Amino acid sequence: MDGLFAPLASALGASVDQVKLISCLLVAYPLGSLFIRIPPSQPNLKHAFNILVSVFFLIPVLNVPFGFAELLGSILGTYMITATVKGPNMPWIVFAFVMGHLTINHVIRAMYGVPPETFEITGPQMVMTMKLTTFAWNAFDGRRPAEDLDKWQLQKRITKYPTLLEFLGFSFYFPGILVGPYIDYVSYMSLIDGSLFKTAPGEAKSPSRRAIPDGRKRVAYRKMLAGLVYLGLFVVLTPKFRYEAFLTPWFSTLSLFQRIVLFPVWAFIARCKFYAVWTLTEGASILTGFGFTGYSPSGESLWEGAANVKALGIEFAPNFKTLLDSWNINTNIWLRECVYKRVTPKGKKPNFRSSMLTSLTSAFWHGIAPGYYLTFIFGGFVTAAGRLCRAGFRPLVLPPPGAPTTTAKRVYDILGTLSTVLLVNFATLPFLLLNFKDSLEAWRRFGWYGFWMVGSALTFFYAGGSKYLHRLQKQQAKTMGVGVVDEKRNGSPETPGSHVVPPLDSAAAELLLKGQN
């Protein structure tokens, strides 16, 4: 089918594979409207619909029949392992099976020097890896006593093993097959039987008589429009704002201040490709009904469950944790629930070992390029410094309960946003350049400012700054008559996994749009 897309690719200056992939994401919109019209009384038809559409995308359109066979092998292997292995090692066997398969394909891609603009199966395989390993843990949780599970595990546990058709339909859920979002099995089945839209058996949440809440199409097509805007910005501006420009002689003629001031423009344009594909797939998922999260106080339906990115939360994040919570959201959930918590011994709190194993998993999941590891390692130090700053400085600028925001708090927020923007752009340089030598050279041309920022912060805190700030907090609390600083207000405790360094990118989306170089 390349001949159908070649003229458009030529006109846009993009590769045929890129145009075909974007076309699949857009075709998923009308197909999503067809999918939701299949009644819940015909679940097998819904499963078959997912399978057929995914086969259509992968074989005749994207021309990866062998890649489809590889996905099918991972799916059938996972189905057999989870059904036959009953012991506690079952999820880890599945993890090794699918992650090992993915890593082999990452190595093959690197060995053959497959260009970024060429579509091959590692992108969809990354999504499938999250989906299948999550299924294995959910099936394992279904065999455990309920009192041993936390809230997420209770909600997602699988107590009835699926038929092969149900499992194939779940695995090949078509809006997310190429670049995500991945969907867990319990959520998928609630979409199939319509219970996603109910609070209790037979009780519809919607204030209207329709089983499906109103507002779905409006939200979905707004997502599509936003995704196309991001895509347009990337296509039009990328030729003028390539990251490779940082390595040219022209860039060396600019002062360090000019380089740092211009840096956010390049970074935003680079991120637009991810905003584009994730927003497009979010809209298509919403059209199938996935993503419904209830109603606002005014009665308007909310569709936030399929989101994988929150652009404003990234571009104007007040701290690094908020930024990470807004980026590659589903992958962060997968890392937290299927790695971070699972490598922590029962009855123990997650520790440095848990964080390191999670970071290594994230690195292997992304690939073998040195740039990934530079980003993850530096990102770990950024996260550690950010946590110390938040615990040390934030309580000192918080106003008393019920009091208006102070000038000190506003200044703190502004400095936090500025620091976050500077550090995330610096940290993701290697992720986009990938090459070790180029990454170090780009960092050098920015004066290593990220290392100075993070290094000075860590030196301050570990040289006695933490104790000094804690004493100030006690004095302030005593002066205000509080007695003890409210840890929930100062933000020092974190939810499990919140300090994990999640992937700052998606190779699936990168594969789609990074090219043109």
The residues carrying an active-site annotation are 366
**Cβ contacts of residue 303 below 8 Å, gap of 6+?**
215, 216, 219, 220, 286, 291, 292, 293
The single-letter code of the amino acid at 449 is: Y
Buried b / exposed e over 105-141, threshold 16 CB at 10 Å, is bbeebeeeeeebbebbbbbbbbbbbbbbbbbbbbbbb
Joined together, the tokens standing for residue 276 give 């584009």
At residue 110's C-alpha, the angle toward residues 104 and 116, to 5°, is 115
Task: In whole angstroms, give the CA distance from residue 106 to residue 126.
Answer: 10
Longest CA pairwise span in the chain (Å): 75
**Cβ contacts of residue 185 below 8 Å, gap of 6+?**
134, 135, 138, 156, 158, 162, 170
SS3 55: helix
Task: In whole angstroms, give the CA distance from residue 101 to residue 79.
Answer: 15
Joined together, the tokens standing for residue 274 give 């991810």
Torsion over CA: 28, 127, 187, 304 (sign): negative
Residue with tokens 């960092």: 443
Q: Are 204 and 198 in contact (CB under 8 A)?
A: yes
Alpha carbon 323 to its chain centroid, in Å, reads: 11
State residue 197 phi and psi, 5-degree precision: -100, 15
CA dihedral 412, 414, 415, 418 (to 10 degrees): 160
Alpha-carbon distances, residue 86 vs 138, 158, 507 (angstroms): 13, 14, 33
Task: In whole angstroms, give the CA distance from residue 253 to residue 245.
Answer: 12
Q: Are strands 301-303 and 292-295 parallel, antiparallel or unpaired?
A: antiparallel
230 exposed, middle or buried (CB, 10 Å; 0-12, 13-18, 19+)? buried
